[in-house]
Structure 1
Amino acid sequence: MWLSPPLSNSYANSGKKPDMISSNTQMSEVVEEHPSLIPVINRFGIRLGLGDKSVKAVCAEHQLDTDFVLTVINTFLNDEYFPERKLQTFHTSQIIDYLTKTNQYYLRFQLPNIERHLNSFISMSTPDNHTLALIGKFFSTFKEELTARIEADGKVWFPYCLSLSEQLTACPASGEELHLGSETHEEDTIEALLFDLKSIMIKHLSGEYNENLCYAVIFAISSLEKDIKQHNRIRYRILTPMVAAMEKLRK
């Protein structure tokens, strides 16, 4: 299905050209320079032990769409880069598969990692640190919100998106194109909670506490915060308007 994208493109309008990873770039060089990419490539089934193989060779080895993997990698590494036109050429199932694996990564690894470090940090801090209870409460709220959204994605949102796509593929409208508009959304609750949690720790900690554990918690929160921001860019600026366009076309 051919997609007719909106004219806006944040990358094109930014006036900046970040360094781009190409299909001929050695995957190991990219990961060496950006270790934060390890969980991203893991979602595609790519593990370390990359040798000197190019991105294209690694993708071929794992039967992956090189263009899609490159688009995700470059989007993750460059805040100014968001190729809406490129992302809209991929099938709905590709986008949902990546978002699903990202959700699973949050549940299996990032949430437990933050919780483990946070529990150790709280238990090793002095009782006179009055912000500990608030920090624990904020994390519990965040965990509940994220878990609930992931559950809704898996049971309701993603199946609905796939169903719409399958319906249009089975019964395509005669000659009609799928026009994507620019969707807006309110501030994401998940992002806001993570930001508040980090802000409380940075601004309001008191008493004695383990500085190394404190850093570990903040680093883990910041890593998840960046990941969720990139996740939400694809979620709100690609998948949501894609679904809205499919709904209009179906009527």
Structure 2
Amino acid sequence: MPHSDAPEPPAESRFRAEPVSFVRRSGRMTDGQERAWAEHAPFYVIEVERGEAVTSIRPGTPITPASVFGRSAPLIVEIGSGQGHAIVHAARTRPEADFLAVEVFVAGLARTMLDAERADVRNLRLVEGNAPEVLEHLLPEASVDELWIFFPDPWHKSKHTKRRLIAPPFPELAARVLRDGGMLRLATDWEDYARQMRQVLGDADDFAPAFDGEWAERFDGRIMTAFERKGRAKGREIRDLTYRRAPRA
């Protein structure tokens, strides 16, 4: 999820057994974003059944991607899509694939819809939802070809690192939705988080590194976003990691 300096998560997290990897902000949108939501959400936003929390997904309510997109095509999912710059660009340049943006901030989703509509992107859908619950409850098993997580909130204060998304429970959820041979692509500008990611995925039996050496090459399908520019401007090195989903037994 996008970086945040907010100190603590909201009350909705009390409904979950584990801390969430985001802080639920007010969700206020500009007038233009409100209009975009009203006009474009019926096409772009997948309506989901909720659990107790605003961004939760009710167990047992999976989607059928072929029905959602109206065709069978490779499915690429971005978790923490922010304002959608990366995924709108990818969807526009790869019309043969379908794309799903997962985000908790409605203003970011509204901006994504505006840019997608302006670019006449039709192979993109959006979900407002907590990423682990999307992976566990909304997406069918082995339905995803690539899973992208670029610049998730680093929760760099030691008292908050337990909220990082890429932690030991995550590989099992990612492995569930990825098809055999599917790709998990990660990027961060925080070195200690990059090393945590590498350790977590290195310990996961369902994944094998798809790179040689210490870090992967920069994924050429990832455009430069505000988060990457911000990290570079502060002198932080960008580190990519890429893993392949191992064949199921």
Report TM bin, short chain: under 0.3
Higher strand share: 2
Higher helix share: 1
For normalisation by structure 1, the TM-score amounts to 0.25
For normalisation by structure 2, the TM-score amounts to 0.25
Max Rg structure:
1
Which protein has greater RCO, CA pairs closer than 8 Å, 6+ apart? 1
